[in-house]
Structure 1
């Protein structure tokens, strides 16, 4: 379920000098950062967080032994409890402190969901039929999926049939998408497919 469908208590905060929206309910941490941007960070009970900034470090660096991974066991209105995936050690954070550390990229959420997807028809190209002189427009679409770790992932689609969104095919995508696990790729494809279905109703 997307955040937009949830009833949440949200407060405005400043995180690392940036205006943000933060939920205050138990069970999950949700940060709109910045407040006016679709990017977000979401951590739920059962998720994993890791020391380090996934947006600036390589996959190999994030997999290094010096960056601890934590399974999040509980999220209350005041505290967050996690377990070290290597040692089994339990740690408790002040919720506000962890929110700021996530927002400042001292910690990264494990990528598991894509709760926001935007679809933009950026251009149309035309095919002219020499005999009939009829101009047919074919959609040319950019899809951006936003992950719960604050990252965004982009695909470029082109239609093979005029005025037919059912004929959209991927012609280019971020390398990171190609490196998703099968399970994560299925979640990504499902989120994109549902959004394209909704968008198609308006074309």
Structure 2
């Protein structure tokens, strides 16, 4: 059961999905769900995106996949990548299915990016972590170490395996995004 708590400017409906708060943006042309706002998972679908009939971590040639052709306030229409057959979903059912892992979508943008400076921890030197949240529900992190303790110059240390799996185009977007937020936050990258 959804509580109809809708903000008049952003038109966000608050729902409970899988026992957690979900903020569902009511834009009739695209799906945007922010699930568990305190530990957010971002999901977004636009015309041209893909919907997979499985959790994002599952891969098999038997899994159906559709390209989204239409999104309205009530429904989403896709065309099978394999057969060309048309499929229609009730929008709210698809939004819920994306959150609980019945469906997955491809990464088309990073919903938000956070920079965390971590002090000395567990015998490790201070470092900076940048986390980008994809609109496919996945997080992508990269860590930088300080070059000098008295300076805000950082250098690459390591990154999450999810970053290594990014397609070339999205890897470039990720690199530019991370570099930009670090510079905006006053860091120099070496």
TM-score > 0.5, shorter chain as reference: yes
What TM-score results when the alignment is normalised by the length of structure 1? Answer: 0.79
Output one character per residue of 1:49-94: Cα deviation in whole Å (capped at 9) or x when no partner. Answer: 111112xx3xxx41x1221111111111111111111111111111
Are 2:94 and 1:92 equivalent residues in the alignment?
no
2:15 is paired with a residue of what secondary structure? strand
Measured in 1, the distance between the counterparts of 2:36 and 2:159 equals 25
Are 2:185 and 1:189 equivalent residues in the alignment?
no
Measured in 2, the distance between the counterparts of 1:163 and 1:23 equals 43
Bigger Rg, which one: 1
Moved more, 172-181 or 77-86: 172-181
The total of aligned residue pairs comes to: 176
1:36 is paired with a residue of what secondary structure? helix
8 Å contact kept, 1:38–1:116 = no
- For structure 1, the 5+ residue unaligned runs are 1-6, 126-137
Output one character per residue of 1:7-65: Cα deviation in whole Å (capped at 9) or x when no partner. Answer: 631100111222110011112111111133332111111111111112xx3xxx41x12
Are 2:106 and 1:119 equivalent residues in the alignment?
no
Give the corresponding residue for 2:154: 168
Higher relative contact order (CA 8 A, sep 6+): 1
Taking the TM superposition and a 5 Å limit, the aligned residue runs for 1:140-179 are: 140-165=127-152, 167-179=153-165
1:87 is paired with a residue of what secondary structure? coil
- For structure 2, the 5+ residue unaligned runs are 1-8
What TM-score results when the alignment is normalised by the length of structure 2? Answer: 0.84
| CA root-mean-square deviation | 2.0
Of residues 67, 74, 80, the one that matches 2:70 is: 74
Structure 1 position 164, deviation (Å): 4.0
Measured in 1, the distance between the counterparts of 2:39 and 2:10 equals 18
